[in-house]
Structure 1
């Protein structure tokens, strides 16, 4: 099939990525809530419970689904209603806490940090082996500026349950940046330590490349001459090494198997285009099939438009 010739490849935002069950739930929640029937809440909660409480075969898929639903429901009453109706359901409490965290991030503060923290602990008590209450608590600890030993304590609780949890590694990466509570040196040390022991296809494999994209964005944000030559960032040893590690393996069939693999491929496509490596970006766009994630494309404008334009530029390379 020719590149860009199929409707399947039309650029589109798909927060569920390739999770068909999650995508169906999102569409169903939208359709149900639009009807405004008395049974709306009951229908929504039943479908959410069915998806989140099924055996997905690992914590990676569960974390992805909770993260997407928390974003989707951050301004909705549904998560709170579920936690109230099902006080012994760990999924209900995690989702409720995560929606509160998502809302807090958008507003710069949590409405009731103590209540969100307590909800996380409640979920952890209900499901001691589940890493997701601790993933949410890690986000809470960052937003509330907890002391570093406390943040690392929560981080270690996640790792004890899910060694390569993608969401947790990206959260810690953000925590260690100069924009939050760390420094460029701490980011480099964190990434180097991870790369030395992490399986190449681990769920958190994109941590290193994410660090480089964040650094690239920091250079662009400074403006002036630095921004004009920001693409030179990708010729630096650490940035070039991160790209090389990804470009030669990630697009191989079934190499990346974690739930957010398409998000990582979006990141790779973006970085390759920023580095003017269009020829290498082309097979990455092919593998994506038009599935767009908001970040990192939204940094430069509308994510779907930015993705589509980059995809066209990559396709034009002979």
Structure 2
């Protein structure tokens, strides 16, 4: 990732993170749809297709772009229109399914899960080396609460194509939580197995810390006395060790190079502040240069406001 100078920049939500080409596309899509032109769909599809064709075999970047575009387009029919027009286009099929998953997360389920599964399998047949059809299918499986043997079957297909796919690991982590289809023990086993063999700067490097933040949030959600002492979570051995490992390397220039690195640095800044390790958080905020991700900041309120307040506290050291 391109590291920013310590100069203060405007704090802003940026789902594209530091992917400038993706950011330009999102702005262009917004401007194009506002024109109301008859050819709007054609123009948007052409722009999306062009971006997804760039570095098409960079699976990490491709998965990031698919995820961001799916969230951005989830309230529109654009992805559906593209898939309908080009039923043999793997990118169109995957984006359509991923968009359905993003929409389904807000609705509590999918409107046409079987159609989404079929689209994923067709995309996988068209582009057999591409992991993103299987990542999209994992999203369907998670949302539809498939049984674990089925989910792990999809999971293995992803690993065979992209060993450290960040989006896939995030989906599996959430699927294995007690809030979804697993247990705390399964989460711990999943994280331990990953840490034992994963390179420290792999695209999925944030999974261990993500698991700790999810557990921290679960404690906060219980309310009462547990919520009042939730900060103690970060002094426990496993949580402190996970935070130590992330704080030691992530903010070093050039250490994290994957597409979601800025999101992981937001996670690190948040966790350091939650643990009251403000001096360590300061350089992380400087590296971020004001780029904010909605999660995990939105847990306590408006993410931009929460980020700004935490950044000021880190800078003041109080």
**TM-score (structure 2 length as normaliser):** 0.97
Match of 1:283 in 2: 283
Structure 2 Cα separation of the partners of residues 259 and 153 of structure 1: 26
SS at match of 1:151: helix
Structure 2 Cα separation of the partners of residues 114 and 5 of structure 1: 50
Match of 2:80 in 1: 80
Unmatched tracts of structure 2, length 5 or more: none
Structure 1 Cα separation of the partners of residues 298 and 77 of structure 2: 27
What's the Cα RMSD here? 1.1
Shift of 1:53: 1.5
SS at match of 1:55: coil
Q: Please say if residues 231 and 274 of structure 2, whose CA atoms lie closer than 8 Å, have aligned partners that are also in contact.
A: yes
What is the aligned length? Answer: 314
Structure 2 Cα separation of the partners of residues 216 and 147 of structure 1: 27
Structure 2 Cα separation of the partners of residues 269 and 275 of structure 1: 10
Match of 2:134 in 1: 134
Structure 1 Cα separation of the partners of residues 148 and 229 of structure 2: 35
1:137-216 equivalences in 2 (<5 Å): 137-216=137-216
Match of 2:241 in 1: 241
Structure 2 Cα separation of the partners of residues 56 and 317 of structure 1: 44
Q: Please say if residues 4 and 10 of structure 1, whose CA atoms lie closer than 8 Å, have aligned partners that are also in contact.
A: no
Match of 2:59 in 1: 59
Structure 2 Cα separation of the partners of residues 135 and 57 of structure 1: 15
Shift of 1:105: 1.0
Structure 2 Cα separation of the partners of residues 272 and 145 of structure 1: 33
Query: Residues 83-138 of structure 1, C-alpha deviation per residue, up to 9 Å, x if partnerless?
Result: 11112210000000000111111100100110111111111111000101101111
Unmatched tracts of structure 1, length 5 or more: none
Query: Residues 19-49 of structure 1, C-alpha deviation per residue, up to 9 Å, x if partnerless?
Result: 0000000000000000001111111010000
Structure 1 Cα separation of the partners of residues 23 and 248 of structure 2: 30
Q: Higher relative CO (CA 8 A, sep ≥ 6), structure 1 or 2?
A: 2
Structure 2 Cα separation of the partners of residues 57 and 315 of structure 1: 40
Shift of 1:139: 1.2
Shift of 1:55: 2.1
Shift of 1:5: 5.5
Structure 1 Cα separation of the partners of residues 315 and 145 of structure 2: 45
Query: Residues 128-186 of structure 1, C-alpha deviation per residue, up to 9 Å, x if partnerless?
Result: 00101101111111111211110000000000000000011111111111111111111
Structure 1 Cα separation of the partners of residues 61 and 168 of structure 2: 14
1:220-299 equivalences in 2 (<5 Å): 220-299=220-299
**TM-score (structure 1 length as normaliser):** 0.97
Q: Please say if residues 178 and 184 of structure 1, whose CA atoms lie closer than 8 Å, have aligned partners that are also in contact.
A: yes
SS at match of 1:248: helix
Shift of 1:54: 2.0
Match of 1:301 in 2: 301
SS at match of 2:55: coil
